[in-house]
Amino acid sequence: MSREYDSIHIPAGCDVEVGDSVDSLENVGVIPMDTDSNIEISYEISVVQGSKKEQVVRRVRNMTANASTELYQIRLPIINKLAGGVMNITSVPGTAVSGATHTIASGFEKGRLYILSGQNASGAAPTVTTVKQGTTSLAAADYVLAKDASGRYGIILTTAGAADVSKAVVVTYTYTPAAHYKVTMGASSVDIVKKVVRFSKTVDGKLFQVTLYSAAMSNGITLSFPGADEENPVRIPIELEGNLDVSRASGDQLLEIIDEIGVA
């Protein structure tokens, strides 16, 4: 290839990584083949003029770098990193939970199925150990363990059983959930923690890489449920705003670009 064409960037997709530092970056996952990842560097130009309207100083202020891409995979810890910690994430292991309780409030309806909050990942029925009203245990004839059309198990207080509808019923049981992440969100104010985000591509062994030193998502979080007739899986749009990391040296606070493709 002649020198005048060395810096042409042919389509090759890219990788996106996020972490607390450049030494702890983690790949965010699969980016759709038809998705462009873009980085726009913006700034304001400030001009100071003298008494004769001559230009005395021309300077750049308020530099930012806005980036956008899409993800195919819902990886909640990664999305939380990109968003700057707005989620409260708990990792729940798939181990047996013994002594779990579920309360059916007073005023319940006999003959109705009340789904237990904990379910076995295997689809098998949870093991019910006791069904009580206060300190009084209900007899086996007073309730039935049953499941709904989707396979979730619950308790039915039988119509002819001795359960008193004016008293709450507490079901104690054992189940083994699937390993999962539990996420909660929502507070009057959340401090966003900025992350290092890196975009990179390699063509013929040559690297083009952009690293934002201090970035976080700026578009919120969109979770969608595609219809059954849709061809593509869920896409999560990601928009990031990179700001200056003033702890770094002046001139190296917003981003770093490494370009091996444009070198002869």
Q: Which helix (H) or strand (E) holds 137?
A: strand 136-137
User: Could you tell me the sign of the dihedral formed by the alpha carbons of 159, 164, 165, 170, in that order?
Assistant: negative
pLDDT at 3 over 70: no
Q: What is the pLDDT of residue 2?
A: 53
Q: What is the pTM of this model?
A: 0.75
DSSP 140: G
Query: Confidence band (pLDDT; 50, 70, 90) for 163?
Result: very high
Asked if residues 169 and 132 have their Cβ atoms less than 8 Å apart, the reply is yes
Ramachandran assignment for 178, one of left (phi > 0), alpha (psi -120 to 50 degrees), beta (any other): beta
Q: pLDDT of 203-254, one tens digit each? A: 888 899 999 999 999 988 988 888 888 888 889 999 999 999 999 999 999 9
- Please state the domain extents for the chain: 3-89+184-259, 97-178
Phi/psi at 186 (5° precision): 120, 115
In sequence order, which residues have a C-beta less than 8 Å from that of residue 64 and are 6 or more positions away? 41, 42, 43, 241, 242, 243, 254
* pLDDT tens for each residue of 38-91: 999 999 888 888 888 887 888 888 889 999 999 998 899 999 999 998 999 999
pLDDT for position 5: 63
Report pLDDT digits (tens) over 82-116: 999 899 999 989 999 999 999 999 999 999 999 99
Q: Is residue 177 within 8 Å of residue 190, measured between CB atoms?
A: no
| Predicted pLDDT of residue 226 | 85
**Cα separations in angstroms, 45 against 42, 57, 169, 242, 252:** 10, 10, 69, 18, 19
Indicate if the pLDDT at residue 264 is higher than 80.
no
Q: What is the pLDDT of residue 4?
A: 65
